[in-house]
Chains A and B, each alone.
Chain A
Amino acid sequence: MALIDAYTQNLTARQVSHLLRRAAFGATLAQVKELTGKTPAFIIQKLLATQPTPTNPTDENQQTFHDLVWGGPNTTDATRNNFDGVRRGRLKLWWIGLMVTQPVSLLEKTTLFWQNHFVSTSTDVSDVRFLYRQNQLLRKYALGNFRDFVIEITKDPAMLQYLNGASNVVGKPNENYGRELMELFTIGRGNYTEDDVKAAARVLTGWRSLNFRSTTAATIGFEFRTAQHDTTDKVFSDSYQKRTIKGRTGTTAGDDELKDLIDMILAQPETARFIVRKFYRWFVQADISAQIEKDFIEPLAAIFRKNYDIKITLETLFKSQHFYDETLYGSQIKSPMDLVVGTLRSFNYQLPDPVKDRTKYDAATNYFFGRLKEQQMDIIDQPSVFGWRPYYDTDFYEIWINSTTLALRGAWTDYVVKGATGTAVDINSLGIPLITSTPTDPYKMVRELTDSLLEFPLTDDQIIYLVEQPLMAGSPYYEWTTIWTDYTKSPNDTMKKSAAKTRLDRLITFILRLAEYQMG
């Protein structure tokens, strides 16, 4: 039985929760219930279903801004700058909104993967039109063809700005993009030489973006300038079998050489491995043992390499026996996005409508953004071109956690349970026992609740503790039955309602503060 073979049994509730946490920032308790008993193949078809194109981001007056001149229609550079800054913020909020409201779909989490792969930060690019255009490209190719994706991202106007491709010219080349293309975007460090970086930079000379921060032209794009292109031959090292990319002239030279370059890099087996390892660390876990390398990464990389089809590769990953390996439950520490978006989704949060309830929509997405940022996951603004450190650096996901961020995580889950009208956050704790099979039995209720909220089951001692302490605060456990029954008989009795709600809120607050809840 190979690790990569398909797991074909019907999934339990815990398995469904696990899959949806990893593929889609979690799902409501009701959605989990609905998909329990289905096969991975069935659920993955749902996850891979084509999603409608989202509506464009808009400002508080419902006006789009990706189709205006930079910072327009203002008159001074200072006000334009401020306007663009606000709009770039709105782009982030728009995307967070999509993640919160997404159906059961792989699209958003994969798009975020690619934004963290082909990093171009909002702060550095500083033109919202470029960033929005790139976001559309990431969505288009998120589950598409990797070869086409790399070619398009190389010419993407935001990327041309971010990694200085736009100032890479014959004679005095700028190596920035050529290096990161190899080190971060395709083949990985150790599989090329410094001279290969220089040769790649020369292949890529001549491209530039159009109308970057233009105050007169609304249309943006890119172009190839034949005069700025290095037309000499580019010779690569042994790492690329001493390949020569023939220097070309004329208007198609840039595209022709770019295709040669990407094909040369993608022909190396290491490229597929490098990307598959990165998928693995995003969707499965960080620790790639020699056995996992051999029995999972290698065969999955072979599938990826066939046609560089991202969709087939991820489908295989989520269907695999290995993905459902019991020892891999909880093998990630939740990213801030998993924690913020995932907690909202678990409790069936309804984001206010951006058209009908704009004020609340803005307040809510803005609040969620603030929490993500303070927990060190500012989307479209990674600390460096490497992306977020927990996906590549020593200790991996543990990097998300330290004294400060752990405290902030606790403050966030406390907030969710407490609720706030301004952001429409309300977990409706009195409805939660109803999702469980026996609301009058506190042990069964806490067991079922923690089974769906946590990646691995708590011990019986922990369940007893949760019932005795946070739920009952020292009163005998059987009083819960009375409290719950009294409330359901007279749901409008303030005293009885409050007795049940206080205890449930305390219980859920405590569960979400457990170290175990940080595992995804």
Chain B
Amino acid sequence: MKRRDFIQYTSASFFLPLILDGFEAKAHTQATTPFMRAMLDVADANDNILVVIQLAGGNDGLNMVLPLDQYSLYSSASFRGNIAIPENKILKLTDTPQTGLHPSMTGLQRLYGEGKLSIVHSAGYPNPSFSHFRASDIWFTAVDSDKLSTSGWLGRYITDRYPGFPDSYPSTANPDPLAIQISSISATVFNTPSITSAVAIQDPDTFAKIVGDKPNISPSPLPNTVGGKYTTFIRQQQTSSFAYAGQLKTAAGKGKNFATYPANNALADQLKIVSRLIHGGLQTKIYYVTLGGFDTHSDQVSATDNSTGNHATLMQKLSEGVTAFMDDLKAQGTQDKVVGMTFSEFGRRAVSNGSKGTDHGWASPLFVFGNAVKTQIIGKNPDLKTLKDNNITLQTDFRQVYAAILKDWMGASEQSVKSILLDQTFTPAPIFKNTKVLANENETPLTDLNIYPNPAQVETIIESDAFAKNNTEVMVTDAYGRSFNTNPTRLSRTQVRLNVSNMPTGKYFVKVDTGSEPLVKALMVLR
């Protein structure tokens, strides 16, 4: 059975009437019972949204996330004294004394305190490229720095998750664009072997209007030349624009913003549209926005105050844009289903140049934000004493971040993640996992329930701290409460294997009895 048929099937059989009938009304209220929460989890299970923010030009990460534990070296004249942020202005982070944020990022400081921001230190890849173009391409396509690919990681995700893309889309089950870029130019990151997987829009209010009523296509066989190939491509674009225009118009009409967004902030303008489309009910999985201007070779700080200037303005735009967006999501009740990540093609040279700027560098920190974030610091402050050619060295491969997003957030199977990352295995960075070490045995562990692979075909593994206790029971039921025998086999202290090979395609609930409140999570079975 094809994936999209499966979605149609489940929607038609029980999913829609049982849950979605009341979903719109309930989506904005807090679910109180574990069952209700689980049901909403199910409704959202396949509905997680990713927002990618590209910081174009190479962000000076060392002035964004500051190593307070090495301040004197950081601020010394031979290091980056001419652009160093004054120590007393650096923003402190809750329970994280060694690390601070740029003074303009009060919004992100708050999000960090609320547990909604994760900092991934020194992200990058081995053998770095210092060319904007090449380095961006490496991030877009997720290749090793000595390899090439013409398809982007998000494009490959779309192709993996939605078989038959692009020819069979939009469909009844997936009427909305699978990815939207708020821009007028499509990014390589969405490239698939055939066409880009994202619909690029500037303004959802006028999109439908400029697209018009119907395409002028007079179909005909085309010459087998480059010109023929381009004509096919443009006809495809004409068709999909018309197909999606109505959906976008409806969502833009229904959606509202509940937060105040800062003015003169291109990033905030884009995120405002994203939030509105999410609220308008668009089922789009991925949104992509861009903030440019990070190539700060000179005058990145102002002449009089190192905490102000061009880079400070960019930091402020990023912080205020993301904060307004998160506040908006919270007000509309969708904050649990959206996660965002930032990235830049490279960091900048740790040692500044003579023109109050920084040349191209290597590893740099990135942010992942959202309610789903669990581990807030991945890695540690870069060690400023062990630079390589004055560059900060690598701690986390950026593809470990992609793997975490794909697997732990988007719910892709390990196999899919591997194929999306070009047949290499990257351990997901534990952004969405609790890595907190227990202080003593009496401390209650934070219970969680992981199911993988999910969707499952033959077997699936349930992972939970709850299994460490005696008498834990696993129950698998369908939406009508009928239970199924899955022959649970204990694999380790925290892992149980289930056999799902006899169960029909559909959505199920896995319930783990812990003695107190049961843990419930959705499982999908796919044939």
Contact = CB atoms under 8 A, between A and B. Distances in A.
A267 interface: no
A357 interface: no
Interface in A135-190: 163-164, 167-169, 171-176, 179, 183, 189
B186 A402 contact: yes
Contacts of A515: 217, 231, 234-235, 238
A75 to B, nearest CB: 23
Contacts of A331: 225-227, 230
B357 A514 contact: no
B226 A404 contact: no
Given A176-B359, A402-B199, A515-B217, A407 B226 contact: no
Interface stretch (A7-15, A213-221, A256-264, A393-401): A393-401
A455 to B, nearest CB: 6
Interface residues of B, number: 56
B466 to A, nearest CB: 47
A438 interface: no
Contact of B353 (A175, A385, A456, A510): A175
A404 B353 contact: no
Contacts of B355: 164, 167-169, 172, 174
B389 interface: yes
B240 to A, nearest CB: 7
B241 A459 contact: no
Nearest to A466: B218
A278 interface: no
Interface bin, chain A: 35 or more
Interface stretch (B47-55, B89-97, B200-208, B398-406): B200-208
A333 interface: yes
Given A172-B353, A402-B199, A408 B227 contact: no
A398 B227 contact: no
Interface string B120-149: 000000000011111001000000000000
Contact of B244 (A389, A403, A455, A516): A403
Contacts of A513: 216
A514 B216 contact: yes
A266 to B, nearest CB: 21
Nearest to B231: A515
B132 A384 contact: yes
Nearest to B130: A194
Given A327-B225, A402-B199, A406-B241, A172 B354 contact: yes
A384 B297 CA distance: 14
Nearest to B290: A383
Interface in B315-367: 352-355, 357, 359-360
B359 A330 contact: no
B223 interface: yes
Nearest to A175: B359
A352 B465 CA distance: 78
A403 B134 contact: no
A120 to B, nearest CB: 14
B231 A516 contact: yes
A471 to B, nearest CB: 12
B297 A164 contact: yes
A179 B133 CA distance: 13
Contacts of A376: 184-185
A177 to B, nearest CB: 9
B129 to A, nearest CB: 8
Given A376-B185, A401-B233, A519-B231, A462 B225 contact: no
A34 interface: no
A469 to B, nearest CB: 8
B196 interface: yes
B227 A519 contact: yes
Contact of B212 (A183, A329, A410, A462): A410
Contact of B360 (A167, A175, A395, A405): A175
Given A459-B221, A510-B216, A330 B131 contact: no
A389 B234 CA distance: 18
A456 B297 CA distance: 47
Contact of B150 (A394, A403, A519): A394
A411 interface: yes
Given A456-B227, A459-B221, A406 B237 contact: yes
B437 to A, nearest CB: 40
Contact of A403 (B132, B200, B228, B297): B200
B226 A462 contact: no
Given A189-B131, A384-B57, A518 B230 contact: yes
15 contacts: A174-B353, A175-B360, A189-B133, A327-B223, A330-B227, A375-B184, A376-B185, A384-B56, A384-B295, A404-B200, A405-B184, A407-B212, A408-B210, A459-B220, A466-B218
User: Nearest 5 pairs between A and B by C-beta?
Assistant: A330-B227, A172-B354, A167-B355, A403-B241, A515-B234
